Structure 1
Amino acid sequence: MIKDTSGQDTVVAPSKVAQFKQPVIWGGIAFVLFAFVWTTFSSGRASASIPRSELRFATLTQGDLVRDIATAGKIVAANAPVLYSTDKGTVTLLAKPGDQVQQGDVVAKVDSPSLVNNLKQQQALLEGMKSNLEQARLDARRDQIKAEQTLDMARVDLDAADRESRRGDQLIENSLISKIDFEKSKDDLKKAKLLFAHAEQEVSLIKDTLSFELKNRAAEVSRQQLVVNELERQVAALAIKAPVSGIIGNWLTEQKARIDASTPVLTVVDLSAFEAELAVPESYADELGIGMDVELSFGALKVMGQLSSISPEVRNREVTARVRFDQVDGMKLRQNQRLSARVLLENRKDVLMVKRGAFVASGGGREVYAVQGEVAVKHEIVLGARSTSHVEVIDGGKPGDVWVISSTQDFEDAEEVLIR
């Protein structure tokens, strides 16, 4: 009979590691299941998660919304006239760019020999016409004296004839003269009267003729005087004067250059009046209006101004606008100095608003993610007026709500997103 191996078996006591191994494994499985259930419970239907550090948040508030346009521009002189030559010639520039000038100072001269020579010729002609006028006046006085002398002689002859006629009347009564002599005295009287009457008419005609001739000569002298005055003005204009006090801007021609009439010579910048020239996007052109308030920023200094002019044309998709403002102490402005500006289009009182962010573009202005605890929930919204810093909320929010204002493209249009 063969014996079994039971006599060879020995009792082995279980190790402490084996006693705790299974509970640890089952405990780990339970922890993983618990974490999964907790995560699922916390996130609800969240299908994505985004780190909080990658998002920007803003709280909806009630307040005044100023709708504005942010733009840039430069300082320009409100009065910077360009000076032109009045005639062709050789220009001599007397003031250099940057020189201070006062109103009326001569800043350039144009040498025009032909214009100066023409002036001298016309002046000589004027002097000759004046001499002729004086000679005509002397001749008129001489002719008038002769006419009056003839009239006086006719009056003497008339008086003598009248006297002979009266003597004839007395002699004929006493039959001391013949009837023929008597009639002859009467004829002499009639003749003397006719001669005197004709002499009076001739004197009157001579006076009128001389007056007319002198008037014509005087008119010719006056016309020639106007010609000389105009030439003198043109010659004086060859000395180009500063129309305002300021500084010389730029030379627009070369020194001693041969130029034609109406050629730009130089510019004078009036430092007492500056304006801001802004470049506004054409999409806002219809909203601009004369008199709108504009906030100008010169670094840390801010100044308020008003729109004074708006260009009717569009260049490079921009509209040029001018802003008039009052200069304050401490402002050191220069031509073409850069600046930033805000055109204040509208001021809405007591509206619901939120800070402006990329969500306006990514959500098309119709969707936003509102923060509820650790979850961002998508909501439909209606936005209104927009400024450079805030956006009006017409529908879809209330004061105190917190929105994600950064771009929501990474949310992939999920209804809910976990913020971790």
Structure 2
Amino acid sequence: LKVAAGDTVRKGDVLAVLESPDLSDELKRETSSYEQLKAEVARQHILARKQKLLAKREADTAEIERLSAQRTLERYESVAQVGVIAKIDYQKAKDALNSAEIRARHASQAASLEGDDVQLALQTKTNELERQRLSQANAQRRVDELTVRAPVDGFIGTLNVQNRMVVAANAPLMTLVDLSKLEVELEVPESYMTDIGLGLNAEITLPSGKATGKLSALSPEVVKNQVLARVRFDGEQPKGLRQSQRVTARLLIEERPNVVMLPRGPFVENDGGRFAYRVEDGIAVRTPVQLGATSISAVEILSGLKPGDKVVISGTDTFKNAQRVSINR
């Protein structure tokens, strides 16, 4: 291990180095095979040039013989007109030229075929070398992966292994917290699920101030009447945040400015939220009200109350629906 829990790391920093004799041996074998094939390809290049040279030499020799036979025939033709040579000698020279032309033509074709043959053998060997190069590169990649590097900037959360510890394949080694991608985790009452959805605006209260975000994920599971939700910060993430830090957030289901509202209390559930006890001169008067939008902490009053009214928001169950109740302070 190259780091400890709590260390800050940068992208690319070495976090741990694993040892795998099997992968190291495989890399050595693949590298040895690659070097051997590379040498064979080099020898094949030399052999190809040599074979081409030999074939060209034979073709050139045949061409020289053809030219010599042609010159001999031309000399015989010049003296044959005056009857200096026998007809049989002239015919022999002519046959020799024909034979030389055939040999030259065959030698040229053989040289071309030999060139194609050695080129094919060279290409086959080159393909084998390329396949081995890919195998060697794959083995090298697997060995390189034994050096674990940080994929992002962040800090080390927890270590799951110790130095010189034997670990199974795909076993987690440590937790790396990406500080640039932190999200706020919320528990939302199940009753609000019909009112919220992805992309809903949120307001997060931090020690350093307030920030805004949007609802980015909702769990499909309900646990103890709560649904887990995640909020992602808008724009640049606030500075100084830590993993598992506690913050306060609220989802803005609906924004209504300039409304009459009360802190939410048990009175909302009593009588279906149709009545509230308004306090006048120490007397709580049961008053019909109409509720509007509600949130976790507040409720909108559409009618029945006005700004400045004092209202009993808790403990009204002891009033037993009385029209007037004296309040003793």
Q: TM-score, normalised by structure 1?
A: 0.71
Whether 2:310 is the aligned partner of 1:407: answer no
Do the aligned partners of 1:280 and 1:321 also contact (CA within 8 Å) in 2? Answer: no
Change (3 A) 1:302 1:294: farther
Q: Kindly tell me: are residues 388 and 140 of structure 1, through their superposed partners in 2, closer, same or farther at Cα, counting changes over 3 Å? A: closer
**Contact 2:202–2:231, Cα closer than 8 Å, also in 1:** no
Letter in 2 for 1:183: Q
Structure 2 counterpart of 1:383, one-letter code: L
Letter aligned with residue 302 of structure 1? G
Match of 1:251, as an amino acid? Answer: L
- Give 1:296 shift: 2.4
Whether the aligned pair in 1 keeps the contact of 2:211 and 2:233 (CA below 8 Å) is: no
Does the 8 A contact of 1:295 with 1:342 survive in 2?
A: yes
Which of 324, 337, 341 is the equivalent residue of 2:233? 324
What do residues 304-338 of structure 1 show as CA deviations (whole Å, max 9, x unaligned)?
2212511342241322213325455xx64332122
Given residue 305 of structure 1, which amino acid in structure 2 is its aligned partner?
T
Structure 1 residue 419: Cα displacement = 5.0
| Residue of structure 2 equivalent to 1:106 | 14
Paired with 1:240 and 1:261, the residues of 2 have a C-alpha distance of 14
Q: Of residues 189, 210, 219 in structure 2, which corresponds to 1:303?
A: 210
Number of residue pairs the alignment of both structures matches: 325
Contact kept in structure 2, 1:282 and 1:314, CA below 8 Å:
no
Q: Is the 8 A contact 2:70 2:97 kept in 1?
A: yes
Q: Which residue of 2 aligns with 1:383?
A: 291
Please identify the structure whose Cα radius of gyration is greater: 1
Bigger RCO (CA 8 Å, 6+ sep)? 1
1:105-149 residue CA offsets vs partner (Å, 9 max, x unmatched):
222111111111111111111111111111111111111111111
AA matched with 2:88: I
Q: How does 1:6-405 map to 2 (within 5 A)?
A: 93-298=1-206, 301-316=208-223, 317-324=226-233, 326=236, 328=238, 332-371=240-279, 375-399=283-307, 401-405=309-313
CA drift at 1:273: 4.8
Which residue identity does 1:117 align to in structure 2? D
Alpha carbons of structure 1 residues 144 and 419: separation in structure 2 relative to 1, 3 Å: closer
- The AA in structure 2 aligned to 1:343 is L
Distance 1:125 1:357, change over 3 A: closer
- The 1:133–1:268 alpha-carbon spacing in structure 2 relative to 1, beyond 3 Å, is same
State the Cα distance separating 1:217 from its structure 2 match: 1.0
Aligned equivalents of 1:258, 1:419: Cα separation in 2: 72
Q: Which deviates more, 118-127 or 343-352?
A: 343-352
Change (3 A) 1:105 1:402: closer
Q: 1:272 to 1:319 in 2, by over 3 A?
A: closer
| Structure 1 contact 285–319 (Cα < 8 Å) conserved | no
* 2:30 maps to amino acid: Q
Amino acid at match of 1:154: A
Unmatched 5+ residue regions in structure 2? none
SS at match of 2:107: helix
Distance 1:119 1:346, change over 3 A: same
Counterparts of 2:46 and 2:237, CA distance in 1: 68
Residues 224 and 374 from structure 1, CA distance in 2 versus in 1: closer, same or farther, beyond 3 angstroms? closer
Cα separation, partners in 2 of 1:269 and 1:357, compared to 1, 3 Å? closer
Higher mean displacement: 280-289 or 365-374: 365-374
Q: Match of 1:257, as an amino acid?
A: M
Seq. identity, %: 35
Aligned twin of 1:49 = none
**1:32 aligned partner:** none
Question: How far has the Cα of 1:272 moved from its partner?
Answer: 4.6
User: Unaligned regions of 5+ residues in structure 1, if any?
Assistant: 1-92
Q: In 2, are the aligned partners of 1:277 and 1:323 still within 8 Å (CA)?
A: no
Instruction: Looking at secondary structure, tell me which structure has more strand per residue.
Output: 1
In structure 2, relative to structure 1, the CA distance for the partners of 1:404 and 1:258 (3 Å cut) is closer
